Amino acid sequence: MRPFALRIVPMLGMLFAASVAFAAPPQTVTLAVENMTCGTCPIVVKKALEKVSGVSATAVDFDKKTATVIFDPDKVSTARLTQATTEAGFPSKLIAKP
């Protein structure tokens, strides 16, 4: 009979592999962002979104008044993204979800 550690290690490896296989792919959304009136505003919006756990990338377009966000849907919701911009003084709403 094999020692307990030798039997459990392969099972742990299978569990880890299974959890990786079920991870959701990153999601991209575009938010319409209000109150952006100057060149500093997009920086504030970007920083607010980047502080949210699960966000991997953001791009804020001052001219279009939008923010495109790539995030892990297992870690953060779109409601949390709009909450982050609103708390920074820039209310937003979801306008596109490819």
User: Mean pLDDT, to the nearest integer, of 83-90?
Assistant: 98
Listing DSSP states for 21-64 in one string gives HTPPPPEEEEEEE----STTHHHHHHHHHHTSTTEEEEEEETTT
What pLDDT is attached to residue 87?
98
Q: What is the pTM of this model?
A: 0.75
What pLDDT is attached to residue 79?
97
CA angle 36, 41, 47 (to 5 degrees): 130
What pLDDT is attached to residue 96?
64
Q: Partners of 70 in the beta sheet?
A: 28, 57
Task: Give 33's DSSP letter.
Answer: E
Task: Render pLDDT for 36-80 as a digit per residue (tens, 0 to 9).
Answer: 999 999 999 999 999 999 999 999 999 999 999 999 999 999 999
pLDDT at 17 over 80: no
Question: How far does the chain reach from its first CA to its final CA, in angstroms?
Answer: 54
